[in-house]
A and B are shown apart, each in its own frame.
Chain A
């Protein structure tokens, strides 16, 4: 051929001849691009085949870009690879060959699409019908350039061969934009799959039903036979696709329902990943599909699928819910507290069986009560058509307790007490960790409201994020949590009761201990007093003996004749005085013993108190005044009428004598005034008073003046007033003493009073 020839050839022989010549002419290269049908042609024509072998022997480099498939794999390995370097390219159409200087593209008459047949048929049958030939330099350069591009985009044959032999899918990621092609790809994927996971929006089921029902049926059939792992499908089931979902379910598809699927629909088989962002509406075929065999994509979407699968609910449950008209979202996060509030109130209002509340703080209760949640719950509990049981767990506070009591009262007023008390409140421990209000209604829905700021007064301000759920597992776990806390409060209450009982017992023990201690103290005090008594008694008993003993000693040792009458009298007087004192003391001690053993017997007789007091004073004067050199007068003003009393004469005389003796002891000079009279107030008693002008009663002594040894006196037994009180009280009277008011009385000192009841018998007799 001459230079710069571009020719279309029609004669098969010419074509064969020129083809062979091209191969003979080239010294460096023969680049060949061929589809499945064209690949075998040069090898099938004997003349051309020989030319190929010759060129190869001359050292010409053969490069082929072809499509290697399962069908032509053996042919490629046995024939083609022996002469040429091969690269694989998917989806090749047509053929051309280009050498250093020439180009040819052929077409054969053989229209058989059967690859097997083509490669295995006799070579003679293959003829070339027409061809395009060129040796135009620009054409050649263009074709060579084109081939380089194809060569660079193709993959090494070895890799492709291994993929086919080992069944490995080629790793590729492509975007399909032709509906037919997309349909083919999806169908092919379904048919070649071993497992299908698919996740799509509500319209996806219709799309499959319209376009891929047959391949689906096939797969589901082989799944039933255990030859396929089956189809798992995640979608959103609503009233529109509910029937289709049932159909697919019945056919053996595993379907789960979830809401809020992303707009990306995808499927993963064991071979490839397919995805589209197209809206699936009206079952229309897709216009774009992303296909990838990239393991990273597949792994990624596999894990997404599994997660979604775990978080979705069984389609059967969902279909049931739709049938029952329960149309709810599963889990919804509500960032706006105002919306949570509306939902909260709605849920409480529509409760049919049960409302459970857990409040984290008492403030939360107060806020939500104000907001209307508690009143609504009360209303629900009071409904007659279906009783809603309301249980509330809230940290204790006084204001809440008051509020609850108020509610109970209100209930009584409204006369709805005929129902069981359907609202029960239990108090929990306030915990700093508790940060959520939990509402569970009918064990079907829960609303968890996170506390953002407990110091706020309104719900909207206090609440942060809320989470609504009707997920069975989620709601039931809240219920379980509630029950646990509820039972805990019972335990706590029981513990509290026990603790209180313990505290009470402790209190009792403490009181008993204190009583014991005080009794012990009293005993000790008593002991001490008893000891004191013995000491005082000893002192008092010994003291008068000294003068007696010494006087007797003096008398006996002295020269008897020398003793004057006067001295003798003085001695006798001293002995008498001290012996009398000893006698008095021994009698006092005996009296105390009687009083303390409660065996003080009174021999009562009716007598005139006037006479008795007068006699006592006379008696006292005789005994006392004569042995003292004090200048003290005793003045007695008698009552101008008889005052009959029923008393033990000697005992009352003893009292008067004691009081006089007392007054006398503390008065250095001046006078003692004795007075008697009726009590002005009740006229049932007489009052006897003994007023002295001595130094008065030491304020420290006043509280225990009438007790034993209260006296600070260094004379006497300290028993006189004690005995006097005992005697007066035994007669039904009282005894007391006051210090005189110097301004009113014009003198100091003290006045002792005692009362005695006036004898009624005598009064009656007189009248």
Chain B
């Protein structure tokens, strides 16, 4: 688990992003990628800890892996929505199967397909996608 709170005035304008992926290598490297692109980024490789530490209004967007032990990305998203109704979401997964399965079987069918990103994705494409989602009206 890694959290960083930067308190400079510049940082207020920066977009804040939370990354949750059970692969430590993925969450770590993605945090670096976002930071390098001017985001404020926190990352967790454990969904339960991520949820426990989540506070309303802390982030503009949460980037969630889907297939995780103990709590999958969708359920984590549902729990976070209860705390913060405004936060935007992007799902990151390596398998279409999990994406489809969760959409259909777990009752998240209403979720827009555009909110999904498939691993592996290049840094530039990822940043572009995230910016698009954040700038979208609710």
A-to-B contact residues, CB < 8 Å: 535-536, 538-551, 553-554, 557-558, 574, 577-578, 712-715
CA distance A540 to B67 in the complex (A): 11
Structural contact, A547 and B23, CB atoms closer than 8 A: yes
10 intermolecular pairs with C-beta atoms under 8 Å apart: A536-B95, A538-B96, A538-B97, A543-B23, A546-B119, A549-B121, A550-B26, A550-B29, A554-B32, A714-B67
Q: Which of A542, A546, A549, A550 contacts B95 (CB 8 A)?
A: A542
CA distance A548 to B119 in the complex (A): 11
Structural contact, A547 and B94, CB atoms closer than 8 A: no
Which A residues lie within 8 Å of B33 (CB)?
550, 553-554
Structural contact, A577 and B25, CB atoms closer than 8 A: yes
Near A by CB (< 8 A), chain B positions 24-82 give: 25-26, 28-30, 32-33, 36, 67-69
Which B residues lie within 8 Å of A549 (CB)?
120-123
Structural contact, A551 and B29, CB atoms closer than 8 A: yes
Which A residues lie within 8 Å of B124 (CB)?
553
Is B98's beta carbon under 8 Å from chain A?
yes
Structural contact, B36 and A550, CB atoms closer than 8 A: no
Is B22's beta carbon under 8 Å from chain A?
yes
Which residue of chain B lies nearest to A535 when distances are taken between CB atoms in the complex? B97
Near A by CB (< 8 A), chain B positions 88-110 give: 93-98
CA distance A542 to B22 in the complex (A): 14
Structural contact, B26 and A542, CB atoms closer than 8 A: no
Structural contact, B120 and A578, CB atoms closer than 8 A: no
CA distance A547 to B94 in the complex (A): 12
CA distance A526 to B85 in the complex (A): 43
CA distance A535 to B96 in the complex (A): 8
Contacts A546-B120, A546-B121 given; indicate if A554 touches B36 (C-beta within 8 A): yes
Structural contact, B123 and A550, CB atoms closer than 8 A: yes
Which B residues lie within 8 Å of A714 (CB)?
22, 67-69
Q: Which of A543, A551, A557, A558 contacts B119 (CB 8 A)?
A: A543
Taking the nearest CB of chain A, how far is it from the CB of B72, in angstroms?
9
Structural contact, B119 and A553, CB atoms closer than 8 A: no
> How many inter-chain contacts with C-beta < 8 Å in the A-B complex?
80
Structural contact, A557 and B36, CB atoms closer than 8 A: yes
Taking the nearest CB of chain A, how far is it from the CB of B94, in angstroms?
4
Which A residues lie within 8 Å of B120 (CB)?
542, 545-546, 548-550
Which residue of chain B lies nearest to A538 when distances are taken between CB atoms in the complex? B95
Which A residues lie within 8 Å of B123 (CB)?
549-550, 553-554, 557
Structural contact, A558 and B36, CB atoms closer than 8 A: yes
Contacts A543-B23, A546-B119, A546-B120 given; indicate if A535 touches B95 (C-beta within 8 A): yes
Taking the nearest CB of chain B, how far is it from the CB of A552, in angstroms?
9
Near A by CB (< 8 A), chain B positions 114-138 give: 118-124
Q: Which of A539, A557, A574 contacts B29 (CB 8 A)?
A: A574
Structural contact, A553 and B122, CB atoms closer than 8 A: yes
Taking the nearest CB of chain B, how far is it from the CB of A24, in angstroms?
150
Structural contact, B36 and A538, CB atoms closer than 8 A: no
Taking the nearest CB of chain A, how far is it from the CB of B31, in angstroms?
10
Structural contact, B94 and A578, CB atoms closer than 8 A: no
Taking the nearest CB of chain A, how far is it from the CB of B131, in angstroms?
16
CA distance A492 to B124 in the complex (A): 86
Which B residues lie within 8 Å of A558 (CB)?
36
Taking the nearest CB of chain B, how far is it from the CB of A541, in angstroms?
8
Contacts A550-B30, A550-B123 given; indicate if A539 touches B95 (C-beta within 8 A): yes
Taking the nearest CB of chain A, how far is it from the CB of B82, in angstroms?
24
CA distance A545 to B94 in the complex (A): 10
CA distance A557 to B122 in the complex (A): 12
CA distance A564 to B33 in the complex (A): 16
Most chain B CB neighbours (cut-off 10 Å) among A535, A551, A553, A715: A553
Which A residues lie within 8 Å of B121 (CB)?
546, 549
CA distance A217 to B120 in the complex (A): 136
Which B residues lie within 8 Å of A578 (CB)?
25
CA distance A579 to B96 in the complex (A): 22
The 3 A-B pairs of least Cβ separation, nearest first, read A542-B94, A553-B123, A539-B95
Taking the nearest CB of chain A, how far is it from the CB of B25, in angstroms?
4
Q: Which of B22, B26, B67, B95 contacts A547 (CB 8 A)?
A: B26
Which A residues lie within 8 Å of B36 (CB)?
554, 557-558
Which A residues lie within 8 Å of B118 (CB)?
542
Which B residues lie within 8 Å of A544 (CB)?
25
Taking the nearest CB of chain A, how far is it from the CB of B26, in angstroms?
5
Which A residues lie within 8 Å of B119 (CB)?
542-543, 545-546
Structural contact, A546 and B69, CB atoms closer than 8 A: no
Which residue of chain B lies nearest to A629 when distances are taken between CB atoms in the complex? B24
CA distance A554 to B33 in the complex (A): 6
CA distance A544 to B25 in the complex (A): 8
Structural contact, B26 and A543, CB atoms closer than 8 A: yes
Which A residues lie within 8 Å of B93 (CB)?
539
Which residue of chain A lies nearest to B94 when distances are taken between CB atoms in the complex? A542
Taking the nearest CB of chain A, how far is it from the CB of B114, in angstroms?
20
Structural contact, A546 and B22, CB atoms closer than 8 A: no
Taking the nearest CB of chain B, how far is it from the CB of A624, in angstroms?
14
CA distance A542 to B119 in the complex (A): 6
Which A residues lie within 8 Å of B32 (CB)?
550, 554
Which A residues lie within 8 Å of B95 (CB)?
535-536, 538-539, 542
Taking the nearest CB of chain B, how far is it from the CB of A562, in angstroms?
11
Contacts A547-B26, A574-B29 given; indicate if A539 touches B122 (C-beta within 8 A): no
Which A residues lie within 8 Å of B67 (CB)?
539, 714
Structural contact, A546 and B26, CB atoms closer than 8 A: yes
Known: A535-B97, A542-B120, A546-B121. 7 other contacts (CB 8 A): A535-B96, A538-B95, A540-B94, A541-B94, A543-B23, A547-B23, A550-B123
CA distance A549 to B26 in the complex (A): 10
Taking the nearest CB of chain A, how far is it from the CB of B41, in angstroms?
13
Taking the nearest CB of chain B, how far is it from the CB of A563, in angstroms?
11
Which B residues lie within 8 Å of A539 (CB)?
67, 93-95, 97-98
Taking the nearest CB of chain A, how far is it from the CB of B103, in angstroms?
15
CA distance A535 to B102 in the complex (A): 14
CA distance A462 to B4 in the complex (A): 105
Which A residues lie within 8 Å of B25 (CB)?
544, 546-547, 574, 577-578
CA distance A577 to B96 in the complex (A): 25
CA distance A550 to B31 in the complex (A): 10
Structural contact, B94 and A543, CB atoms closer than 8 A: yes
Which residue of chain A lies nearest to B33 when distances are taken between CB atoms in the complex? A550
Structural contact, B94 and A538, CB atoms closer than 8 A: yes
Taking the nearest CB of chain A, how far is it from the CB of B44, in angstroms?
15
CA distance A553 to B36 in the complex (A): 11
Taking the nearest CB of chain A, how far is it from the CB of B6, in angstroms?
19
Which B residues lie within 8 Å of A553 (CB)?
33, 122-124
CA distance A546 to B124 in the complex (A): 13
Which residue of chain A lies nearest to B27 when distances are taken between CB atoms in the complex? A547
CA distance A360 to B69 in the complex (A): 76
Taking the nearest CB of chain A, how far is it from the CB of B133, in angstroms?
19
CA distance A712 to B118 in the complex (A): 22
Which A residues lie within 8 Å of B22 (CB)?
714-715
CA distance A536 to B67 in the complex (A): 11
CA distance A545 to B30 in the complex (A): 12
Which B residues lie within 8 Å of A713 (CB)?
69
Taking the nearest CB of chain B, how far is it from the CB of A148, in angstroms?
129
CA distance A539 to B94 in the complex (A): 5
CA distance A148 to B53 in the complex (A): 152
CA distance A570 to B107 in the complex (A): 40
CA distance A101 to B103 in the complex (A): 148
Which B residues lie within 8 Å of A548 (CB)?
120
Taking the nearest CB of chain A, how far is it from the CB of B97, in angstroms?
4
CA distance A101 to B25 in the complex (A): 172
Taking the nearest CB of chain A, how far is it from the CB of B19, in angstroms?
11
Most chain A CB neighbours (cut-off 10 Å) among B95, B97, B118: B95
Which B residues lie within 8 Å of A554 (CB)?
29, 32-33, 36, 123
CA distance A548 to B23 in the complex (A): 13
